[in-house]
């Protein structure tokens, strides 16, 4: 019997019909997959379920009762908790304070801090999450923050939990903890709406599945066993995609980027490598291996203790991203929301913010030139938007990533592109488009470093892979020698090692 029902849900924004008459239902105690390309309407549907936005038409029914939300609090009281891909935590509060926010234990308005921490400590231990409840959220890794967000839903005994790309920042161990939690919640009768682009997770966890495309219901599978991976991909994108990597060999010339004995306070083991013109060098490792720390050191965002970085034989000044950009190196960061996009600003501004100085003589902005540059990269990178003036937060993750790429490609003389988690939370179709962009840039002589925790991605698009483990290079593998088992083995920490990076 249906426990959660979406009936004729429609939602439009200026220039965009995000959802059009979407209807499906989910049984009690089921894990229901929700898939679709970025921009298909998944996030809009989740926001309506959470009470964050109101539908233009249609209704949501939970356990036979039609819901009428005027706020997120109304949805919460109805037993609905949504864990968004962009985490909703307060960085300067502790883990315990975030988990009890709005319902602190205490008397006469005085918070009982000891009870707060110990209650949370007990609950976290019970559900298998190893996080210090007294630690500030700002001090945690992205993966640990994701686990805290997941713990919030478990602790309030929600009837419906929606998880939006929950494993995008988790290690393999953390993902297994999450899967165990989901199994326990399913057994207790909780409805789980599981939004993910990872088909292996969908088939592992989900009982049923709905696919959205262009805001419409593309397919509904009451029993996921009755469909296949290829069918789902075709339903998502409206076409067959047999090989999303589409790697092809390119001529490689002289060394473009040379890194010697690079180390810093967050990466104490010196690292050396080089990247040639036209080469895509992949960096793989488990979360905490030091990949992102290496990228930030390279770019000058973190303090360099020793070592050298040179581009085309010319040294790059340390500890200065501006100097790195001037030398021809740019970085697309791991965390799009906090370090990449400029929230509350238009697509146009996000693309041109770095290159404005090239068309702003004496500091006077040229609006026509700015619009022209933005339109050029919106078209070139196939950014799906009704207008360059659209707020970037309204774009899907894949389109936000394209805008960040556009920002750096609008710079003059880019020679080295470092891109960290290029397709995190991005659908199959958009992944394929981003890979094609990277291939085109490499074919033009750019040296590209791709950092990813998805091994199939690194193996699919790289010419060579460097495997990191505990802050050191554990293996350097040429494409003819790619072997999934060997690469994973190299990435696994040595139990006898210190474990610091």
State the Cα–Cα distance between residues 469 and 306, nearest whole angstrom: 20
Structure confidence at residue 463 (pLDDT): 97
Residues 212 and 279 placed together within one structural domain of the fold: no
pLDDT at 357: 81
CA distance 49 to 82: 8
| 249 located within any domain | no
At residue 349, the pLDDT reads 93
Counting the structural domains of the chain, the total is: 3
Distance in angstroms (rounded) separating the CA atoms of residues 396 and 434: 14
DSSP state of 78: T
Give the C-alpha separation, 492 to 469, whole Å. Answer: 7
How would residue 191 be classed by pLDDT, with cut points 50, 70 and 90? very high
**Average confidence score pLDDT of the chain:** 87
Tokens of 25: 């239902």
- Token pair, residue 160, equals 């419906």
- By percentage, how much of the chain surpasses pLDDT 90? 47
User: In the predicted model, what is the mean pLDDT of residues 298-315?
Assistant: 96
> Cα(418)–Cα(280) distance, rounded to whole angstroms?
10
Predicted TM-score (pTM) of this structure: 0.63
Q: What does the pLDDT read at residue 494? A: 60
Does 152 share its domain with 218?
yes
Do residues 176 and 188 both lie within one domain? Answer: yes
Quote the domain boundaries for residue 32: 2-237
DSSP 131: -
Contact 41, 164 (CB under 8 A): no
Q: Is 247 part of any domain?
A: no
Tokens of 301: 């965002």
- Bridge partners (DSSP) of residue 267 are 264
Residue recorded with tokens 């590209």: 448
| CATH number of the domain bearing residue 120 | 3.40.50.300
Residues 266 and 323 in one domain: yes
Same domain, 107 and 153: yes
Q: Are residues 317 and 229 in the same domain?
A: no
Domain boundary among 207, 237, 267: 237
For position 499, what pLDDT does the model report? 43
Q: Which of 415, 270, 325 is nearest to 317 (CA)?
A: 325
Q: Check whether residue 97 and residue 151 sit in a common domain.
A: yes
> Which among 44-53, 157-166, 274-283, 416-425 has the top mean pLDDT?
274-283
pLDDT above 60 (res 497): no
The 10s digit of each residue's pLDDT in 31-79 is 999 998 767 889 899 999 999 999 999 999 999 999 988 898 899 889 9
pLDDT 10s digits, 232-289? 878 887 765 556 888 999 999 999 999 999 999 888 899 999 999 999 999 998 767 8
Answer yes or no: are the C-beta atoms of 387 and 362 closer than 8 Å: no
Q: E-strand spans in 36-105?
A: 57-62, 65-66, 80-83
Residues 104 and 203 in one domain: yes
Residue indicated by tokens 């993902």: 175
User: Which contiguous run of DSSP H or E holds residue 439?
Assistant: helix 428-443
How high is the pLDDT of residue 304?
A: 94
């Amino acid at each position: 019997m249906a426990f959660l029902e979406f009936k004729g849900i429609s939602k439009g924004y200026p220039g965009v019909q995000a959802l059009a008459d979407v209807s499906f239902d989910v049984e009690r105690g089921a894990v229901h997959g929700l898939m679709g390309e970025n921009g298909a309407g998944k996030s809009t549907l989740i926001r309506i379920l959470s009470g964050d936005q109101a539908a233009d038409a249609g209704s949501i029914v939970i356990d036979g009762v039609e819901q009428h939300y005027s706020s997120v609090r109304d949805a919460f009281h109805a037993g609905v908790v949504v864990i968004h891909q962009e985490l909703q935590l307060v960085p300067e509060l502790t883990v315990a304070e975030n988990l009890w926010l709005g319902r602190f234990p205490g008397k006469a308005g005085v918070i009982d801090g000891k009870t707060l921490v110990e209650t949370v400590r007990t609950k976290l231990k019970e559900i298998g999450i190893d996080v210090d409840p007294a630690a500030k959220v700002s001090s945690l890794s992205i993966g640990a923050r994701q686990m805290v967000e997941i713990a919030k839903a478990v602790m309030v005994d929600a009837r419906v939990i929606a998880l939006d790309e929950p494993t995008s920042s988790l290690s393999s161990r953390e993902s297994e903890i999450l899967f165990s939690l989901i199994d326990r919640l399913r057994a207790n009768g909780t409805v789980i709406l599981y939004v993910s682009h990872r088909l292996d997770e969908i088939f592992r966890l989900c009982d049923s599945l709905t696919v959205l495309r262009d805001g419409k219901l593309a397919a509904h599978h009451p029993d996921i066993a009755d469909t296949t991976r290829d069918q789902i991909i075709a339903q998502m994108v409206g076409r067959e995609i047999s090989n999303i990597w589409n790697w092809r060999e390119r001529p490689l010339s002289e060394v473009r980027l040379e890194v010697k004995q690079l180390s810093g306070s967050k990466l104490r083991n010196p690292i050396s490598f080089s990247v040639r013109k036209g080469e895509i060098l992949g960096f793989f490792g488990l979360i905490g291996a030091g990949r992102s720390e290496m990228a930030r050191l390279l770019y000058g965002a973190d303090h360099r203790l020793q070592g050298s970085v040179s581009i085309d034989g010319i040294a790059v000044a340390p500890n200065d991203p501006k100097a790195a950009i001037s030398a021809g190196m740019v970085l697309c960061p791991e965390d799009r929301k906090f370090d990449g996009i400029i929230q509350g600003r238009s697509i146009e501004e996000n693309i041109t913010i770095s290159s404005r100085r090239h068309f702003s003589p004496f500091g006077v902005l040229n609006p026509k030139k700015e619009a022209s540059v933005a339109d050029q990269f919106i078209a070139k990178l196939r950014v799906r938007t009704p207008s360059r003036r659209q707020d970037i937060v309204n774009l899907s993750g894949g389109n936000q990533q394209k805008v960040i790429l556009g920002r750096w490609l609008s710079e003059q003389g880019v020679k080295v592109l470092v891109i960290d988690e290029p397709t995190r939370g991005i659908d199959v179709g958009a992944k394929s488009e981003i890979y094609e962009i990277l291939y085109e840039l490499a074919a033009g002589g750019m040296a590209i470093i791709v950092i990813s925790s998805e091994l199939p991605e690194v193996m699919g698009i790289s010419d060579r892979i460097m495997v990191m483990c505990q802050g050191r290079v554990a293996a350097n593998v040429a494409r003819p020698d790619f072997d999934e088992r060997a690469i994973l083995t190299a990435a696994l920490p040595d139990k006898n090692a210190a474990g610091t990076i």
